[in-house]
Amino acid sequence: TLDYAAPEQLRGQPVGPPADVYGVGLLLFEAATGTRLWNRSAARPERTRASGRPAASEVADELREWLATPAAQRSGRSWWSKKSVIRR
């Protein structure tokens, strides 16, 4: 989850073992103190916009329209091939 993600992971950069160590450190902090060091879940929509990908709310109408079209009438391409991937 976002609360345990390393900073480089949140920035969309490559991650490796140091990111795992960071997450375990946060988990140990929480186990020892009973509190979370971060509450990043509230910042999620901002992170999505910062990634360059559209927020789900920005493409909801287009997605509903695409889903309402019978599959046989849709082009051979997938909806997400027309848009960049959406992160939740």
* pLDDT recorded at residue 48: 46
Domain limits, the chain: 1-52, 54-88
Q: For residue 72, how far is the Cα from the chain centroid?
A: 31
3-state SS, one letter per residue, for 13-62:
CCCCHHHHHHHHHHHHHHHHHCCCCCCHHHHHHHHHHHCCCCCHHHHHHH
d(CA 64, CA 57): 11
- pTM score above 0.75: no
pLDDT digit string, tens, across residues 32-61: 888 888 776 655 555 544 556 677 777 788
Instruction: Determine phi and psi for 31, rounding to 5 degrees.
Output: -65, -35
